[in-house]
Amino acid sequence: MSEVDFNVNAVSREETGKADVRRLRRTGGVPGVIYGGKGKPVSITMQQNEMIRHLQDDAFYSHILNIEVDGKAERVILKDLQRHPFRLDILHMDFLRVVKGQKLTVTVPLHFVNEDKAPGLDEGGIAQHVIQEVEISVLPKNLPEFIEVDMTGLNIGDSVHLSDLVMPEGAELLVLAHGGEDQTVANIMVPRKEVEPEEETEAPEASEVPAANQKDDADEDKSDD
């Protein structure tokens, strides 16, 4: 992939207090910070409309970005994003500087492909996506937009695990690199069968006893007198 596919415009800011940030947001600004590498952290301001437009593209989350601050360009990745709990408004964005030759730790989405080629679906199975994204360590030049999960050939009961994923050159899954469990990424489940409830047979109430039987009971009572 291209190392820089997105251009972000920003200006540096000195005010970092809560009142300043609230005023900034009211005027359509988005506060953020650039950190990492050999440079000092820089507080920045971006435009809400521009950033919302960028974030509509899934690739923005896992691409190297070109962010221009006061006319000076830096290469970064989006490291953290805070949104308003009820609206689409962006509250804050963190960007990590990209250093050539230095590995990045990033979260990359998974794309599930070739489900239509999974025999298990023709047999009535159900495809289940257990994990939606993975954290990897990778050089900037090999940073992928996404990682594919190939579902070709899966039968009912078959699974794809983390160790089955094809990684970019030099990249590694952090969970496996740290000795973690080789988790299931996707599988073909056996369809659940609906069990119809059995009809319960209720004993007839006294008022529902046939009249003939009631007469026999009355005759027995007379014979006892």
Could you report the per-residue pLDDT of 66-121, keeping only the tens digit for each? 999 998 999 999 999 999 888 889 999 999 999 989 999 999 999 999 999 999 99
Output the six-digit token pair for 225.
């007198």
CATH hierarchy code of domain 6-99 = 2.40.240.10
Residues with Cβ within 8 Å of residue 114, at least 6 apart in sequence? 150, 151, 152
Mean pLDDT of the chain: 85
Could you report the per-residue pLDDT of 113-148, keeping only the tens digit for each? 999 999 999 999 999 999 999 999 999 989 998 999
**What would you measure as the largest C-alpha separation in the chain, in angstroms?**
115
Count Cβ atoms within 10 A of the Cβ of residue 78 and give its class: 0-12 exposed, 13-18 middle, 19 or more buried: buried
Output the six-digit token pair for 157.
């009961």
Distances (CA, A) of 97 to 44, 159, 168, 175: 14, 37, 21, 23
Domain regions of the chain by residue span: 6-99, 105-189
CATH hierarchy code of domain 105-189 = 2.170.120.20
User: Residue 17: its pLDDT value, please?
Assistant: 78
Euclidean distance between CA atoms 143 and 60, whole angstroms:
12
Q: Is the dihedral of CA 197, 199, 203, 205 positive or negative?
A: positive
pTM score of the predicted model? 0.73
Residues with Cβ within 8 Å of residue 77, at least 6 apart in sequence? 62, 63, 64, 65, 95, 96, 98, 104, 106, 143
Output the CA torsion 115→116→118→124 (10° steps).
110
User: Residue 10: its pLDDT value, please?
Assistant: 95
Euclidean distance between CA atoms 108 and 40, whole angstroms:
27
